[in-house]
Amino acid sequence: MLDGFRPWAIMGVMREAHLEGYFVSACRREGWKAIKLMPSEKGVPDRMVIIPGGEILLVELKTETGRVSPAQKEWHRRAGVLGVHVYVVKGPEEVKKWVESIKQSRGLGPI
């Protein structure tokens, strides 16, 4: 693959596999750890992100046109009952905004 080549930029929509790589890279740049969660049950979020201070965030990644399934909605609802929020992030622009919002809300500095 050519350095900087983004096949999704030509097609207009990033595939979920490319989005996952983009997300992991964005997290790594911040010194965060983005771990792929194995789907041990339907609806489990895609990633667990560990940020400074030991905070753990759960993230469901979707393409710009992707939809949250009923099983995912139910998993997110149950997590919410337990006091855990699952972030749904759609597309590369939302990845950038999500990283920035987490940094600002946690006092981790501007992007």
Q: What would the pLDDT profile of 30-39 be if each residue is shown by its tens digit?
A: 999 999 999 8
According to the model, what pLDDT value does residue 3 have?
A: 47
Give the integer Cα–Cα distance in Å for 92 and 84. Answer: 24
100-106, Cβ contacts within 8 angstroms, sequence gap of 24 or more: 102/51, 102/57, 103/30, 106/51, 106/52, 106/53, 106/55
According to the model, what pLDDT value does residue 10 have?
A: 44
According to the model, what pLDDT value does residue 19 have?
A: 95
Phi, psi (deg, nearest 5) at residue 73:
-60, -45
Residues forming beta bridges with residue 33, ordered by sequence position: 50
According to the model, what pLDDT value does residue 4 have?
A: 52
Report the run of H or E that residue 91 belongs to, with start and end.
Answer: helix 91-105
pLDDT tens, 5-64?
455 444 556 788 899 999 999 999 999 999 999 989 999 999 999 999 999 999 999 999
